[in-house]
Amino acid sequence: MKVVAQGLVHGGDTLARLDDGRVVFLQGAAPGDTVEAEVFEDSGRFLRARALRVLSSGPSRVSAPCEFLPRCGGCPVQQIAYAEQLRGKEALAADALERIGGFARGSYALRPIVESPKQFNYRRRARLHRARGGWGFAQAGTVQIEPVARCLLFEPLLQTLADLLGDLPGATDVAILAGEKNGALDVHGKVSRKHLEELARHRLIKGVTSGGAMIGDPVIVDQPLANGARLRSRPDTFAQANRSLVPALQGEVLRLLQGSERVLELYCGSGTLTLPLLGNGRTVTAVESAGPSLLLLRKSADEAGLPVRLIAGDAAKVSLEGSFDAALIDPPRTGAAEAVNKLAAMKLPRVVYVSCDAPTLARDGKMLAQRGYKLVEATPLDLFPQTAHFEVVALFEAAV
């Protein structure tokens, strides 16, 4: 069938429509393209299709440099010019907030999307899965693993570390974390101690974790922040992938929490957003369920002589004592409905919500609005160029 691709939709597809009005979610096209496409799913209400041949190119189409497109599902918008990727993601943030959250456009300030300093070679961490013939990623919409010899999103050192994996008998998947000069691995599967030790002896590998065991020192330490704190990460804990845009993300959070002296943070991880807040008389109470992440945060704060109160546990269930004038929440992609309800009941004046999924942000934001909060502003940040993902930092304030 022949269709014309329209704007970007959530998930990295473009939207198209048939003559009978039915919606088509189209893989592999750029806005404005006219393509020949094949349908691989018909739900009755909509179709899913993939572009087979571009009949005429739209103004935003570029030549995708990756040889593994479209077999690998990691970069579904690589054929779209970066400026159009940014426009599309900014529009998707507004669409989710309006359609799911009920926040009309113009009722809050939607700030321009913050672009990444790097469009390629920006990832410092990745999880590779065993594939026939190497290591790779899941194909779009399937569980089949596509071997990828070289990923154009990887920082050079991350790619070098990936190349060191070789066959690695017994391993099913490996998480890799790159620092500035070396990195660390988290290996899953039935791998012998001998093979893990061989990896850990390589000059570029600080340490290896596997099934809770550690060989060497798998902790990667970043350069000091302005307050002297150094973020620590491990390959088996969460860390932001695009280090080039983390300072902008931290800056947005600092700006929105300016004037807040008693901050409650939920889902703090190892401190990407916590550490910049410490000092200058501000008190921070940070909650996290992952014990290794809390240990890393504690060491980073203590090393810099910066006080922080840490609470281990589920953000939705822990007992929170004390008085706070703002909350910072940075949940996983699934959102944090229960924790948001808990925050709303505390009636804090200000809530800063950092989200890697605009639809769940909108859903949770709607819950805040129903409890008397107003969405004041939202800022998208493109931490994931060439992919369908982006972050949004939103500010909610209690209605007076």
**Given this model, what pLDDT does residue 138 score?**
79
Give the model's confidence band at 21: pLDDT under 50 very low, under 70 low, under 90 confident, else very high. confident
Give the model's confidence band at 44: pLDDT under 50 very low, under 70 low, under 90 confident, else very high. confident
Give the model's confidence band at 383: pLDDT under 50 very low, under 70 low, under 90 confident, else very high. very high
Q: What whole-number percentage of the chain has pLDDT above 70?
A: 99
Q: What is the pTM of this model?
A: 0.95
**Given this model, what pLDDT does residue 71 score?**
83
Give the model's confidence band at 141: pLDDT under 50 very low, under 70 low, under 90 confident, else very high. low
Region 292-317: what's the mean pLDDT? 97
Q: What whole-number percentage of the chain has pLDDT above 90?
A: 91
Give the model's confidence band at 140: pLDDT under 50 very low, under 70 low, under 90 confident, else very high. low
What's the CA gap between 114 and 121, in Å, rounded? 18
Region 196-223: what's the mean pLDDT? 96
pLDDT digits (tens, 9 = 90+) for 166-196: 999 999 999 999 999 999 999 999 999 999 9
Q: Which residue has the tokens 């693993």?
A: 145
Of the listed ranges 44-48, 180-184, 303-307, 328-332, the one predicted with least confidence: 44-48
The mean predicted confidence, pLDDT, of the chain is 95
Region 115-142: what's the mean pLDDT? 90
What one-character DSSP code corresponds to residue 77? T
Region 319-336: what's the mean pLDDT? 93
pLDDT digits (tens, 9 = 90+) for 142-153: 778 989 999 999
Give the model's confidence band at 309: pLDDT under 50 very low, under 70 low, under 90 confident, else very high. very high
What are the distances in angstroms from CA 351 to CA 107, 269, 278, 307, 348?
17, 18, 18, 22, 7
Residue 4: pLDDT over 90:
yes
pLDDT digits (tens, 9 = 90+) for 244-279: 999 999 999 999 999 999 999 999 999 999 999 999
**Given this model, what pLDDT does residue 289 score?**
96
pLDDT digits (tens, 9 = 90+) for 342-373: 999 999 999 999 999 999 999 999 999 999 99
pLDDT digits (tens, 9 = 90+) for 93-105: 999 999 999 999 9
Of the listed ranges 170-179, 297-306, 314-323, the one predicted with least confidence: 314-323
Buried b (16+ CB within 10 A) or exposed e, 193-231: eebbeebbeeeebbbbbbeeebbbebbbbbeebeeebeb
Contacts for 4 with CB less than 8 Å, ≥ 6 apart: 16, 32, 33, 34, 35
Considering the candidates 66, 72, 151, 356, report the single residue annotated as catalytic. 356
Q: Which residue has the tokens 């189209």?
A: 26
**Is 66 one of the annotated active-site residues of the chain?**
no
